[in-house]
Structure 1
Amino acid sequence: MNFKKLFFPSIDILDFVALGLLIYSFYIKFYPFIFIFLLHVFVYRLSFSFGEGRINKFIKFTNLQNYKVSGLLKKTLYIIAWSLIIAFVVLKFNQSTNYIVTLFLPIALAIAVACKECILAVNFLIEKGLFNALLLNEKFYLLKGTQPAPDWYFLEAANMAGNYSEEHFPSYELAKKASKKYQKEAQKNGKKYTEIIYEQRCLPKGVYFIGDPLEVIDDYENKEKWQPEKNDVLQLEDDTYFAIFKAALGPGEYPDETGNKYYTKSGDIIIYPLSLLDEEKCWNLSDKNKAQIFNFKYAVDVGYDRQTVGSIDCGSVLIFTGEDRWIE
């Protein structure tokens, strides 16, 4: 079990089923099972259990934020897949078989049924090579508890409109959809419209606790269970977003721009959904001006070192953890 966890963390029960089919295929000399096994290893596992959220996390993990499958590859693979499926059906109807069509039928079915994920996996194999693709896949599964969260997309037109509406979107498609609305408004008023959309690190709207994680997370000192990256927006396995930062000057008390205080014994400052913590403990810390609670009505961009060295900003909140600071 330790060997599995150390070297093959992505192995699950389906891998043993696929391996059993491979062995059985040699025993009964039914070689299409070999291709089913290859399909499982090179497509199923590399498409990360066919989950779009998991694919997005993997893309973020590999720093391939602009990773896209070419339109030509999509069309080519999709045409080949459906051609093989149709050929297989026609051959069966004519009570005949073709060895090549039969062998490649499982892969064709996978591309037809789960087109997006399978094609992405195939493209990833082409770009990275088999060894690097499998190695990155295993490293991805080694991540414990937290992973870098996907980027959000900032629409400048929504920000410039000044109508206190959402200006950060969890996907590029949603940002483009909102952009079209502002484009129509600009054209209606005879104004020139320039679309500006770019990626930002964001937290979704909600009520957040900002303070020392050591005070509100019971097992925070357990580094085997809780070892998140610092100075970034992260995501739990249940897709919960949060952010954590290292105070530039270590443990101590730090002010924000309006004079609120944030005391940290651990030297870390976390921005975490209040509903997932002991709310009474969080409010007690807030009442003592050792931590703060904010209700963000819209998604907020989050950053580090943007205003001054060691500064943490989350929407309208700006915390100084370095030597340079100012108070309103």
Structure 2
Amino acid sequence: MPEPLLSIGSFARAVGLSPTTLRHYDDVDLLAPAHVDGVSGYRFYDVAQVRTARMLAALRDASVPVETMRAVVDADDGAVGALLEELAARRTTSAAAEAAALRRLAGELAVPRRAVATVDGAHLAVALAAVAPLAGADELDAVQVVVGDGLVLLASDRVRLARWSLDATVRATSGGSSVVVTVPGPDVPALAGWARDRAKVTVTADEHGATFADGSHLAPVAADASGAAPDLAAVWEARRPRGLNRTWVAPEDGPSDARHVAVPLGDVEVLLDSALLDGALATVHGPAMLEADTNLEPVLVRSAATPQHGILLMPVVPEGLPPAGGRVLP
């Protein structure tokens, strides 16, 4: 006895397609009903058509166009798998190309990062002179300038990291984040000398670099884009101590003739390179606060007179303990 035919509504529920979609597939000769009532025009479907209809439903969910559906339906059972694999490969390639195009468009339409800040010229000169001696070699032979909520200068030779924060009037920002630029090491003295005689210096920074100006008078040097240099501001935030252990060191406490000096910091004793510590103390001027979380993590040296300025130093690892890398920067 033959299986009873299913009404379009029952068939639609069984295969996951709407009656409207089934009527469309009939109109385009993709899936014709098994029987159409000559009087009412009602469509009826055979149970044997369920497999094909469910395949069409899956293809439709994958946004496969009707002509491609037709090719799948008409293919031999043995060829369907290969056809679907080919379709999936084309989809992957197309999706990657579309995603790349969208990213390019997003980059073209994105608001470029830009920041404008004005600082005291003499203060900028002092800050440049303070952090520049700690600049290292290669990509670190520079002073990083972060223009955002204020103005921050940073420099590092990997063993030390100096930071100086300046009060600044930020007049314009766009692009949603701070702008990081670099002043090449050889250019820092010229910029510091120029800024020293200026009442105010305006720093205009974007993704291509920065200019320094006093009104309409430009500084003889400019800053470059940060390029491949490490983000020193991020390193500072990640590695600076949280003030768990601290002590004051007065200038008369140094310099030391010993190669290393042990500094008691609260619950820990930190072993520091005497030359590096003496250099840091000379830079920050006056009594200095030393802070550290452990005797294996960077020590922060900062001055009471210039709390906006600080230097991170790596301690000397005591004998018997595993090495901690010996660098502020990796």
Tell me the TM-score normalized by structure 2: 0.23
Largest Rg, 1 or 2: 2
Structure having the larger proportion of residues in strand: 2
User: Which structure has greater helix proportion?
Assistant: 1
Q: Which of structures 1 and 2 has the larger relative contact order (alpha carbons within 8 angstroms, sep 6+)?
A: 1
